[in-house]
Amino acid sequence: MAATGSSLFLASPVATAPRARGRSTLSAASPARPSLRPRSTAVAAAVQAEHQPAVAAAPKPPALPFRVGHGFDLHRLEPGLPLIIGGIDIPHDRGCDAHSDGDVLLHCVVDAILGALGLPDIGQIFPDSDPRWKGADSSVFMREAVKLMHEAGYELGNLDATLILQKPKISPFKETIRSNLCDLLGADPSVVNLKAKTHEKVDSIGENRSIAAHTVVLLMRK
C-alpha cells in the first residue's frame, strides 16, 4: 500500500459481512454520539493477509507545497436499505443501493483525497466488480486514503463537503457526522466543514430517489 514507490500496492480486499438490515439508528432526540457500526478492527487485521497490485505504475506525486482535490458521489435510494452518511446510521425509509455500504459522504471524501494525490478513483482501487467489497464498511476506504495521504508526505489542510438530499433533514445529525469524519481523518474539527442542502424537489435527488455529495480538500506538505 506504499505510495512512495513506483507502484501503488494496496492491502488485499477484505471479506466483509453483508449489511445488517436491523442496525441501530440515531433519532433527532438522541444525544450527539455516533451510532456507528463496529469499527473495523477485524478488517484492519485482515488487511495484512496478502498484497495485490491495485494500479500499475502509479507515480509518486510531485513534492508540491499543497494539492487540491475534488470528490463527487451519487447513489440511488431504495426502500428497506440503511441510510449511512459519514459512518452514521440515519433514520429514513430509504437507503443507498450500492456494492459496499453506500456511504455517499465517505466515498466522496475518499475520491477527493485520491484526486489531490493524483491517484485513481475509489471505483478503480475498490471496484464494485470485486465480491470481496460486498457490504464493506466505507471507513476501510477512508483509512486507506488517509494512509496514502500521509505516505505521500501530506496532511489535511482543510475539507469542505456538501451533502445534497431532499430527505431526511440532516441538521439533527450534522455534528455527529462531522465528529466521526474528523475522527476518521485524524483532523481537528476546525478544518472540517459539512453542509447539507436540498435539491428544491428537482430531478431524482429532489424526488427523494437519490443522494449526492461534493467534497473539496486541501492537502498541505508536511
Residue 155 and residue 66: Cα distance in Å, rounded?
9
Which region among 48-57, 66-75, 98-107, 175-184 has the lowest average model confidence (pLDDT)?
48-57
* Cα angle: 109, vertex 113, 115; to 5 degrees: 110
64-112 per-position pLDDT tens digit: 899 999 999 999 999 999 999 999 999 999 988 877 788 999 999 999 9
Pairwise CA distance, residues 17 & 165, whole Å: 28
**Whole-number Å distance between alpha carbons of 100 and 14:** 12
Band (61; pLDDT cuts 50, 70, 90): low
Instruction: Give the pLDDT confidence of 113-135 residue by residue, as tens digits.
Output: 999 999 998 878 777 776 666 66
Give the residue, 134 or 203, on which the prediction is more confident: 203
Query: How far apart are alpha carbons 221 and 112 in whole angstroms?
Result: 16
211 forms beta bridges with 75
129: cell is: 466488480
Q: Which pLDDT score, from 0 to 100, does residue 102 have?
A: 86
| Cα 199 → chain centroid | 21
Could you give phi then psi for residue 10, rounded to 5 degrees? -105, 150
Closest of 73, 168, 83 to residue 115, by C-alpha: 73
Q: Within 10 A of 200 (CB to CB), how many other CB atoms are there?
A: 9
Q: What is the pTM of this model?
A: 0.73
Three-class secondary structure of residue 106 per DSSP: helix
Q: What is the percentage of the chain residues whose pLDDT exceeds 90? A: 57
pLDDT at 206 over 60: yes
- Residue 96 CA to residue 78 CA, distance in Å, equals 6
Which of the two residues, 64 and 8, has the higher pLDDT score? 64
Between residues 24 and 83, which one has the greater pLDDT? 83
Per-residue confidence (pLDDT) for residue 137, from 0 to 100: 84
CA distance 44 to 140: 8
CA dist 187 and 149 (Å) reads 13
Mean pLDDT of 151-169: 96
Cα diameter, the chain: 51
Q: What's the pLDDT at 32?
A: 46
pLDDT band at 14 (very low <50, low <70, confident <90, very high): very low
User: Between the CA atoms of 208, 80, 21 and 145, what dihedral angle is there, to the nearest 10 degrees?
Assistant: -30
DSSP state of 209: S
